Amino acid sequence: MSTIAVYPGTFDPITNGHTDLVERASKLFNQVIVAVAASPKKRPALSHEMRISLAKHVLAHLPNVEVVGFDNLLTEFTRSVKGQVVIRGLRAVSDFEYEFQLANMNRAIAPDVESIFLTPSEKHSYISSTLVREIASLNGDFGQFVNPEVKRVLQEHYQTI
């Protein structure tokens, strides 16, 4: 049986922590779909198209990973791609309560879809897109937390604001 896992997120921007999780998930599942949420209510710094493009660039080395955008309910999207599993990342204990609530809501809506939690490696456990954006906006050095292309795009973005 072929298992399709969906790893959803805003990925504003995709970080080395995200990449770590996708690389590990790609070894566990036949196919991983990285689902980049439009998330207009979060008011992302980067456009939806740019976030999709950067994720495709960063994850191009993984043959069983596909990057797509979505703008509907995660459960609807997951069913539309025949996904059986939703992957969520947990960096710290503080993430668990929110993620547990989401997993239970998703299970109520789509009982046929399972949620799986993965933790990033220790060296990536403190990285978040929010912190990367903040460092980038203040012209700090954030290159160790993201792919070089992501760094270039963020620097360019914050120079034009």
* Distance between CA atoms of residues 77 and 69, nearest Å: 10
Is residue 91 annotated as part of the catalytic site, yes or no? Answer: yes
24, 56, 91, 107: the catalytic one is 91
How is the chain split into domains, by residue range? 4-125
Is residue 42 annotated as part of the catalytic site, yes or no? Answer: yes
Is residue 129 annotated as part of the catalytic site, yes or no? Answer: yes
Closest CA to 14 of 64, 57, 71: 57
26, 48, 51, 129: the catalytic one is 129
18, 48, 51, 151: the catalytic one is 18
pLDDT tens digits along 90-145: 987 778 888 999 999 999 999 999 999 999 899 998 899 999 999 999 999 999 99
Q: Tell me what pLDDT residue 161 has.
A: 73
pLDDT at 154 over 90: yes
Percent of the chain residues past pLDDT 90, beyond the cut: 88
For domain 4-125, give the fold. Rossmann fold (3.40.50)
